[in-house]
Amino acid sequence: MKFTYNWLKQYVDFDWSPQELAEKLTFAGIEVEDIVTLGGKIPEQVVIAQILSSDKHPNADKLSVCRVNDGTGERQIVCGAKNYKVGDKVPLALPGAAMGAGFTIKESKLRGILSQGMMCSAEELGLPKAEDGLLILPADAPLGKKFSEYVGPGDTVYDIEVTPNRPDWLSVIGIAREIAALTGNPLKLPADSGTGVSPGSSNKQTGETPFPLVEVEAPDLCPRYTARMIRGVKIGPSPAWLKSILEKVGLRSINNVVDITNYVLLESGHPLHAFDFNLLKGNRIIVRRAKDGEEFGAIVGSQHKLTGEMLVIADAERAVALAGIMGGQNSEINDATTDVLLESAWFLPANVRKTSKQLSLTSDSSYRFERGADIGGVIWASNRAALLIQQLAGGTIGGFVDVLAKPVEKRRVKCRYAQVNRLLGVEVPPATVKKIFTGLGLEVLEGRAPSRPSGALGHDGAWPSIEVEIPTYRVDLEREADLIEEVCRIYGVENIPAKMLPALPAVSAFDAQWDERRRVRATLNALGFHEALNQTMVSEGAVKLQNPLNAEMTALRQSLVPGLLQNLRTNVSRHQYDMRLFEIGRVFAADGKESLKLALAATGRRTTGDWERTEKSDYFDLKGALEQLGVNAEITEIPEKKAKKLDLRDAVYVAECELPARAVSEKQFVELPKFPAIVRDVALVVDEAVTHRQVLDAIERGKNLEAVALFDVFRGGSIPAGKKSVAYSLTFRAADRTLTDTEVNAAHEAIKKQLQAKLACEIRVS
């Protein structure tokens, strides 16, 4: 959406600079994508001149030699443009004109021919680009007048990004309404013709006859359609002010009537369409669904085949417009038009969007109707355009028809002052809230607060809430939170302190379960396992589905292992032979009982990398992983021979268990020791039945015994039958000092005595 600084100031007073305006709009939630400064620095030496003659340059094929009148006399100008003709009026830069970037116009020879100035394009003067070549001025442009005075003061063009929920911002008045709310200054709406009729559901006409009969056969797609006659108009060029505004925002001037409909669209945000009344067949307007295969020729020259889902505006014989999108060539305004039928309607956004996409046909009208135009602004836009047509094209404003499927109802929304303060985290006075709503055009329903017990007034004597009536142009305001967002925007985000409000995090049983699953995943990931996710539905199982999706998903799985085996097969088929997988998922018993389980699978080498040959994964890899999780589970080996039947190369080890209710606690950092350790070894001969655990239990840990580690088991030789030799390394360390040999030797002797007393063992080496 484009608009200009000067145009906006016609509807609301403000004293911000162009840059300040952009900042204010941005803080109010309107994203300014681009700012372009136009004119304002046109040199005084640029005047309006008229081309008197044009001849080919004798020494250059692409240049011409022109004689021009600058209002004081004739000059010779060498020109390279091709878009002019003799008699045209153009801006002429005289010698001495500083054109920017250090470039100053002066008399000089171009290919041997004297040039006494430069005829200018729009871009060279800092104006919106029109056509390639010179800027051709209207025939009534005053000869010799300073061009800066002719075009008026400089201007700034804004290009804003409008979110889909704010179609009211697709209009200059909509933007002006925001500025009015921000400044507190009143909105200055332009005059309309005052010839509208009250909304009604009848097909009533007013004014003279004959008037076309308007029939709406598809009220579901067109809840409101109005038509107005303006007779005796004279089609011609638009005045300079209108052409200038349209060109600044990127629209090409066509003629006075069409330009007015475009102008009112940009001004009010409501699309209009003007038909040549004398080209309509049968003196009728019919709003109907298109016939399948019906042909339509759009104004832009494209031909389209329509479907029965599309809405058209038709006369007695054919479609003359695509509703809400574009008019047809068969009824467009032309130089011979004298009577204009002006359409102002409201069409269902979804239908306009669908038709536009199917036909790849878009317009400024479809862009607005797709987002939800203002059904309550239909008559105002028609009145406004009718008045401008009468002023700029003459004619008489005549009959009017308003076909309304049902009365237009406005929403009412209540907003609590306490809720405003709670959500924004700052105290906003009720009077400020009311002022903001009023400034945005919301009607405050005074004295209509709902009944409540006596003494229920707020601390300031006012009702603790405010109820407003939402205007039809604000399709986004539906609930209390929407109103509070408006308070936030206009009050100013910068006025709301950035602070963290105190809050207690919600705690539930599911939170704890999720945390445990996260710990299980993290632990297994650290051990080299990758998580797999498989379908809960399988081809075979005890729990059958009544309505399966397909033949491969007829039952609920009873185990996670088949899915992991299939994952291994898939990886092996892609030459990934070394795999460790796990899955956490729900399984279903034959009775339908549901449980959450964990399954592990491993095959191939323990570590990967062609440069090292490591051992294959085995039983102990899964056992170690399960012990790390703190759970017990049966581990099953699928030997290599059976694995090959599953297209696997190596043996596979799998395990499945209930998901642990609590994983092993997370590791805690322990400070590195500051003092050295002293190590002593001890070897003892014990009965074959004595376990490693029994040896550890027999050693009473003193305060300086840091670790006990088994490093050797020996049988045979000098060791009697039924006996074995086990050797342990004992590490001694004190946290506050360096131990002496005397202290360590004493502790070591005490441990040997403990072992002999509890295990009846023989000490071999110490």
pLDDT digits 0-9 by tens, 159-178 = 999 998 999 999 999 999 99
Reported as a single tens digit per residue, the pLDDT across 402-447 is 999 999 999 999 999 999 999 998 999 999 999 999 999 999 986 4
- For the segment(s) 205-404, the CATH number from 3.40.50.920, 3.30.930.10, 3.50.40.10, 3.90.550.10 is 3.50.40.10
Segments making up each domain of the chain, as ranges: 2-39+156-183, 46-152, 205-404, 427-495, 509-658, 678-765
What's the CATH code, domain 427-495?
A: 3.30.56
pLDDT band at 661 (very low <50, low <70, confident <90, very high): low
Arithmetic mean of pLDDT, 734-755: 93
Superfamily for the 678-765 domain = Ferrodoxin-fold anticodon-binding domain (3.30.70.380)
Band of pLDDT at residue 206, cut at 50, 70 and 90: very low
User: Is 46-152 a domain of CATH 3.40.50.300?
Assistant: no
160's tokens: 């804003």
Of 15-24, 72-81, 514-523, give the lowest mean pLDDT range.
514-523
Let me know if the fold of 2-39+156-183 is the same as that of 427-495.
yes
pLDDT at 138: 83
**Residue 200: pLDDT band with limits 50, 70, 90:** very low
Task: Give the model's confidence band at 344: pLDDT under 50 very low, under 70 low, under 90 confident, else very high.
Answer: very high
- Judged against a pLDDT cut of 60, whether residue 741 lies above it is answered with yes
Residue 198, pLDDT above cutoff 70: no
- 579-612 pLDDT, tens digit each: 999 999 999 998 888 999 999 999 998 876 555 5
pLDDT at 495: 86
Q: Mean pLDDT across the chain, nearest whole number?
A: 88
- Quote the pLDDT of residue 130: 65
Instruction: Give the pLDDT confidence score for residue 542 in this predicted structure.
Output: 86
Distance of CA 664 to the CA centre of its chain: 43
CB burial string 627-652: b at 16+ within 10 A, e below: eebebebebeebeeeebeeeebebbb
What pLDDT is stored for residue 101 in this prediction? 64
pLDDT at site 459:
43
pLDDT tens digits, 265-285: 999 999 999 999 999 998 899
Tell me: pLDDT of 695 over 50.
yes
Question: Backbone dihedral region of 400: left (phi > 0), alpha (psi from -120 to 50 degrees) or beta?
Answer: beta
Element housing 434 (H / E)? helix 430-439
* pLDDT score at 457: 44
Contact yes or no for 339/276 (Cβ under 8 A): yes
CA separation for the pair 472, 270 (Å, rounded): 12
For position 196, what pLDDT does the model report? Answer: 43
Query: Is the CATH number of domain 2-39+156-183 3.30.70.270?
Result: no
> Is the bond preceding 58 in cis, omega lying within 30 degrees of 0?
no
The pLDDT confidence band at residue 311, using thresholds 50, 70 and 90, is: very high
Q: What CATH code is assigned to 509-658?
A: 3.30.930.10
Per-residue confidence (pLDDT) for residue 230, from 0 to 100:
95
Rounded mean pLDDT, 292-301: 94
Task: Give residue 451's pLDDT band: very low, low, confident or very high (50, 70, 90).
Answer: very low
User: Using CA of residue 491, residue 495, residue 499, residue 501, what is the dihedral sign?
Assistant: negative
Q: What is the reported pLDDT for 205? A: 41
